[in-house]
Amino acid sequence: MVAPALRRPITADEQRRAERCARGLVIVIDDDAEILAALHALIELEGYACETYASALAYLRALQDGRGRFPGPRCLLCDVKLPELDGLELQRRLATLDDTPVLLMSGASGAPEAVSAFRAGALDFLIKPLDDETLFAAVGRALAASAARQREQARRRDLAARLATLTEREREVARRVARGERNQDIAAALGIALRTVKRHRQQAMHKLGAATLVDLVHLLDAAQGPGTQTL
């Protein structure tokens, strides 16, 4: 579907990069340089890509620049107690910008922090000192969630793109068809000829790559179902 044409051979460098992307990126934010270094080493050793930031602001700045965004699943592993910007606060801000899953961690903090973290949507809350097994279990879940979200987004984008190639009339007809209306009724409702409805219907199904009515129904359901009230 969305396969970009491969024009040149893949270099070994790109090969390695691709492997890392597939595994995923872990973005670590902690104000303790020692921990940062240790986590960086540990995470790369496990085969994930890893970026580290000493503060939430540093990460946000990097996000602003936005150059060369990492392709593939990603997650955030962020300390709760940070200077300037709190881990919880960072999470709240990210929730509106980004849908990267967030793992929060903290040393010997109380229940309230953990509760706040989960209420704010953190995927997990890790207590320092970090246990390798627990850490990577959480990272695995987070990256899996990220991958799922990205697949879902890609699917929706692809669908939206195909929907965008339809003309207004075609979309309208397709929508009604997918709601179970008959060609005749659609023609009457839109005040156009039966033949015209048939044409739009065919055209729409062709553009959307729907071989059967059932496919059309599924496509349109998927397009407008989860949130997006387009169409």
Partner DNA sequence: CCGTCTATTGCACCAAAGGGCCAACAAAGG
Partner DNA sequence: CCTTTGTTGGCCCTTTGGTGCAATAGACGG
Q: Which residues bind a copy of itself (CB under 8 A)?
A: 106, 108-115, 118-119, 124-125, 127, 178-180, 211-215, 217-218, 221
CA nearest to 174, candidates 190, 158, 154? 190
Site for DNA contains 179 (CB under 7 A): no
Could you say which residues in the range 190-209 bind DNA, by CB under 7 A? 190-196, 198-202, 205
> Distance between CA 88 and CA 113 in Å, rounded?
8
Q: Choose between 115 and 213: whose C-beta lies nearer to DNA.
A: 213
Question: Binding mask 111-130 vs DNA (x if CB under 7 A, - otherwise)?
Answer: --------------------
Q: Residue 228 interacts with DNA (CB under 7 A)?
A: no
- Cβ neighbours of 87 (radius 10 Å): 25
Nearest to 23 by CA among 52, 51, 53, 46: 46
**Token pair for residue 8?**
């040149």
Can you tell me which of 182, 188, 221, 230 binds DNA, judged by CB under 7 A?
182
Least distance from a copy of itself to the Cβ atom of residue 168, Å? 22
Quick one: DSSP state of residue 210? -
- Based on the shown chain and the rule CB under 7 A, indicate whether residue 164 belongs to the binding site for DNA: no
Give the pair of three-digit tokens for residue 24: 């995923």
DSSP state of 31: S
Nearer to DNA, 55 or 183 (CB): 183
